[in-house]
């Protein structure tokens, strides 16, 4: 079974019920999915800022994926990845670095975020 770590971009499309969100839905139904706790915070924030129900957003992510916790080692690894990526892509976000730090080698990142271009094992929603 394919494993995915899902980015906020993908979750937002899913919650909006867009065409891209339909792809996320199919993946959730057929794959083992993971989400960084940092991504979960991003999704809840986006829901609140756009006058959507943040609890609905929280529940959708929490019930449809395994939430990956952040500890000291992940924080350190994230900082190193973030610094490296910022050299090539000045707008690369810290939350994106958490995704790269928390995924294991067999997981694919599901996103539409262009910051992930040129990174291995990334599947872009089309």
pLDDT in tens, 65-117: 999 999 999 999 999 999 999 999 999 999 999 999 999 888 999 999 999 99
What is the token pair recorded at 11? 């979750």
CATH of the domain at 84: 3.40.50.1010
- pLDDT level of residue 126 (50, 70, 90 thresholds): confident
Domain span including residue 109: 3-118
pLDDT in tens, 14-35: 999 999 999 999 999 999 999 9
Whether 123 maps to a domain, the answer reads no
Whether 49 maps to a domain, the answer reads yes
Whether 124 maps to a domain, the answer reads no
Whether 102 maps to a domain, the answer reads yes
Whether 126 maps to a domain, the answer reads no
CA dihedral 83, 89, 92, 97 (to 10 degrees): -50
**Gap between the Cα atoms of 29 and 72, Å rounded:** 32
Residue length, the chain? 126
pTM over 0.85: yes
Structural domains in the chain (count): 1
Cβ(90)–Cβ(105) under 8 Å? Answer: no
Tally: H helices and E strands in the chain: 6, 5
Whether 113 maps to a domain, the answer reads yes
């Amino acid at each position: 079974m394919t494993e995915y770590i899902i980015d906020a971009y993908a979750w937002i499309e899913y919650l909006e019920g867009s065409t891209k969100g339909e792809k996320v839905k199919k993946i959730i139904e057929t794959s083992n999915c993971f989400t960084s706790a940092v991504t979960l915070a991003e999704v809840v924030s986006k829901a609140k800022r756009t006058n959507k129900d943040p609890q609905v957003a929280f529940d959708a992510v929490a019930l449809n994926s395994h939430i990956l916790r952040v500890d000291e080692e992940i924080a350190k690894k994230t900082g190193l990845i973030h610094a490296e990526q910022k050299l090539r892509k000045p707008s690369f976000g810290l939350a994106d670095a958490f995704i790269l730090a928390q995924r294991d080698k067999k997981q694919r990142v599901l996103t539409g975020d262009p910051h992930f271009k040129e990174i291995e094992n990334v599947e872009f929603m089309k």
